Structure 1
Amino acid sequence: MGHTHHEAAGIAPAVSSVGAKYVEPSATRILQRGEKVDDLFNRNITTPYFVQRLSERAYFFNGGFYTTTFYIGETGVLLLDAPEGQAKNILAAIAEVTSLPVTAIVYSHNHADHILSTAEVIEASRAAGVTEVRIIASTKTAEKMEFLKCTLPAPTETVAWPKATFKFDNVTVRFDGFERAAHCDDAGTFLLVEEKVVHLPDLLNGDQPPFWRFGTAENTVYYRLNITQLGDLDWIHHVGGHGNVGGKEDIAFVKQYLDDLDLAVAEGMKTVKFGMVEDIKQYNNHAALMVPWLGTLSKHVVDQLRPKYGKYYGFEFSVPSHAEMVTLSAISYR
């Protein structure tokens, strides 16, 4: 299969942002550079999950618009995140390729939607005879969970922030925390070194412009720095938490998109007049000067970018938020 369009029931197919070759998912065939899983949106709404093999021992799980990574070792399975509502599907996916139980779980960051199924996975492992499942997180994630009185299972061991490595059977896992993180303050990359697979949710999703509000980034101004740090690591496949399998071509695409977005915002700030309100007294709030301007400018930016990017997945839903966030950052940082 060599087509380069998404197939989705009832709508025009989106075009690959990186000229990907689309293939059907396979739990046995290793995904090659430049390949993506076909029909991704439709698969998410019509099937419970699928598995794609990424390397000799690492696999991509997709279910309910969530993705994660698992690694099959000699004695057990390492699961990187256990997304919300996906415990049964994850366990079924793992069972497709191995009879080994999950013996370790990594928390990529302290957002519940990516780790909420941990207790269910641990329960299944204990039923399979595992006396203790390792829960591994960075020191910053562990401290954040304690500070916020998180009710999810606490890490049983930590890796030092901002850089550390640990072993799981025969694989080296390298952790790199973002010194200045966009998505949240405890975000970082987990790289399966020998497999050349990197796990980092909520920053970049393969084959599309950034998600709405840059993946709900808490600090947009650092987004490009994080994309660069991710791209500088030695990997072939990236698992981003919600979209298609990522590759280095996706890094290049997003960097170009950010360049074009910055230019469009700069042009829009010169073109769209600030404070276009006939009578601010009726609102009794000076936000009436900012909010309509921001909305008008955002629409202007989206119109500027549509000829080049409008054919890509999520454009109409995501790009208006990008324009607003970049505009606010441009106002703040000069």
Structure 2
Amino acid sequence: MAGNRDHVWVREAPSTVDAEYVQESATVPLRPGQKIAHLFNLNESQEYVLQRVTERTYWFQRDHYACTFYVGEDGVLLFDPLHERGQYILEAIKRVTDRPVKAIVLSHDHYDHIGDADVVLRAMGEIGVHPRLIASEATARKQLFRGTSQPHATEVVAWPHSRFQFEDLHVEFHGFARAAHTDDHSAQLLVEEKVLHAADHTNPDEPPFWKFSANENFLYFEPNLRETEELDWVYENGGHGNVGSHADRDFYHQYIADMVEAVRRAMDHIGFRDGVKGVEGINSHTAYHTTWTDLVARTAVDALRPKYGQYYGFEYGTWSNAEQVVWAQFAYTK
């Protein structure tokens, strides 16, 4: 889609999985394993990116945030009404169908992913449509606990696992009893479409984003990945990054293994007081922990750079991933 942003195209990072890239298309579905070409530049130069994934499922992205929508016979099912992107999502939907949004799914209670629910609800209300607003028990409870001003779910499904139906499509909620990202984090499987909507779970065709997609707890991250890998899907929307496949998960597991090993090696030869050697005036033991963590993490990043340094966002995000692993290894070493 043409946009009016002032952007000078840059050379993009190579694929982490040797992907086959195709031009963005709102009409031609992707074949398994294909990804959208020039995705970073498209995000920087267009109003949004719209890709048809299957006959009925579409992948939308603006400013590197992605959501999924499914076009049924009578209406549209939207997964995650992204903050500050609701109007663009509605415009994208209108490009492919004149059917209204009849249901909205909230994957988890993070404002950046669900913050424009009111925008979509208001737009539908203006034409006399009142969509179902579907969330898990965990998300509904969390919103009540926080006293959110966001619209509350009209339909609450069981936690951690449940299923609902939208026209002929069956959708499975897969929550994580021990969630890495946030305590109400879940993924949704569009069963007949074989599409997994898993916001903030992975960043396909990239190394893991900052803090493994802003995870609150690294300890549970890889077990969460294993859970969703057991599901029957071909395409994944991780909320950021490109359209995903199981090959992206293989890359993630190798990256995690290499990161854990690099951190362990660094911990073996960096002493707890090494970060403050030569520094005078230390009057708090906090200095030992923070400087040691930083030193171990950055040593691990240096060790990983020859293998991963060419990939998307390495210099900006890998140190935060390393810090999470340092803490997990420090606290939970077997």
Quick check: TM above 0.5? yes
Equivalent residue number for residue 237 of structure 1: 235
Query: In the alignment, which of 247, 250, 263 is matched to residue 248 of structure 2?
Result: 250
Code of the aligned partner of 2:181: H
Equivalent residue number for residue 200 of structure 2: 202
How does 1:100-111 map onto structure 2 within 5 Å?
A: 100-111=99-110
SS at match of 2:319: helix
Q: Distance in 2 between matches of 1:233 and 1:312?
A: 28
> Residues 186-238 of structure 1, C-alpha deviation per residue, up to 9 Å, x if partnerless?
01111000000011111201101100011110111101011111211110111
SS at match of 1:282: coil
Query: In the alignment, which of 158, 182, 187 is matched to residue 160 of structure 1?
Result: 158
Equivalent residue number for residue 4 of structure 1: none
How does 1:1-334 map onto structure 2 within 5 Å?
A: 9=8, 11-130=10-129, 132-276=130-274, 277-278=276-277, 282-334=281-333
Code of the aligned partner of 1:149: G
SS at match of 2:60: strand
8 A Cα contact 1:82 1:116, kept in partner: yes
Q: Distance in 2 between matches of 1:240 and 1:278?
A: 42
Q: Distance in 1 between matches of 2:127 and 2:72?
A: 16
Q: Distance in 1 between matches of 2:22 and 2:176?
A: 33
CA-CA distance at 1:279 after TM superposition: 6.2
Which sits farther off after the overlay, 228-237 or 152-161? 228-237
Question: Gapped runs of 5+ residues in structure 1?
Answer: 1-7
CA-CA distance at 1:315 after TM superposition: 0.7
TM-score normalized by the length of structure 1: 0.95
Q: Distance in 1 between matches of 2:87 and 2:34?
A: 28
Code of the aligned partner of 1:101: P
CA-CA distance at 1:271 after TM superposition: 2.1
CA-CA distance at 1:58 after TM superposition: 0.7
Code of the aligned partner of 1:249: A
8 A Cα contact 1:280 1:289, kept in partner: no
How many residues align? The count is: 326
Q: Distance in 2 between matches of 1:59 and 1:282?
A: 58
> Residues 115-163 of structure 1, C-alpha deviation per residue, up to 9 Å, x if partnerless?
1111111111112221x21000001100110111011000001110111
8 A Cα contact 2:69 2:79, kept in partner: yes
Q: Distance in 2 between matches of 1:124 and 1:270?
A: 58
SS at match of 1:229: helix
8 A Cα contact 2:10 2:41, kept in partner: no
Q: Distance in 2 between matches of 1:84 and 1:160?
A: 25
Q: Distance in 2 between matches of 1:34 and 1:265?
A: 32
TM-score normalized by the length of structure 2: 0.95
> Residues 277-320 of structure 1, C-alpha deviation per residue, up to 9 Å, x if partnerless?
24677132111112222222112111111111111101111111
Q: Distance in 2 between matches of 1:12 and 1:96?
A: 30
Equivalent residue number for residue 3 of structure 1: none
SS at match of 2:164: strand
Question: Gapped runs of 5+ residues in structure 2?
Answer: 1-6
SS at match of 1:60: strand
Q: Taking structure 1 as reference, are residues 278 and 271 closer, same or farther at Cα in structure 2, changes over 3 Å only?
A: closer
- Percent identity, aligned pairs only, is 44
When the two chains are superposed, the root-mean-square deviation of aligned CA atoms in Å is 1.3
Q: Distance in 2 between matches of 1:183 and 1:162?
A: 15
